[in-house]
Amino acid sequence: MKTIFIDRDGCVNVRLVGNWVMNWNDFEFMPGAISGIAALKKAGYRLILVTNQRCINLGKFSEDKLDELHEQMQSSLKNEGGFFDKIYHCPHDRDENCGCRKPQPGMLLQAAKDFGDIELSQSIMLGDQESDRLASEAAGIKTFYEISEAQTIADAAKLILAP
């Protein structure tokens, strides 16, 4: 199935420099995120969120609180016609050498295993960091769109959906 992997901080929501988004009051959608996600979902894409969340292993945030935050994000997206089919997160810190923390491809590979019908070479990755691009390359994803305030998810959606 047509699948797009999307990073969270800096793509879906505004990245808090030097801090983490740990409650709904801190969560601010990036420009174009809601409309872009809705357009891709309406076009029939499976959307999978892949996000590093080392704040969990640093003891700053809990898995339950992360789930609550993601439920609120999903609710807001669904109100506009979009949502993520699945959300994967890596709770590990940078020095733990896990296989799921981007730039490692573990979350992408796990999604392909879980769904069974994802062709990674035909999938797309949207990210704002070099680690997102490296993870997508390591997983065999050939198409990467860099997301920023100047190149939003809505802009990437227009390129992806162009005839």
Helix axis angle, 33-42 to 63-79, nearest 10°: 70
Look up residue 67 and give its amino acid: D
Q: At what angle do helices 33-42 and 153-161 cross, to 10 degrees?
A: 30
Q: Given the residues 9, 67, 114, 117, select the one marked as catalytic.
A: 9
7 in active site:
yes
Catalytic residue list? 7, 9
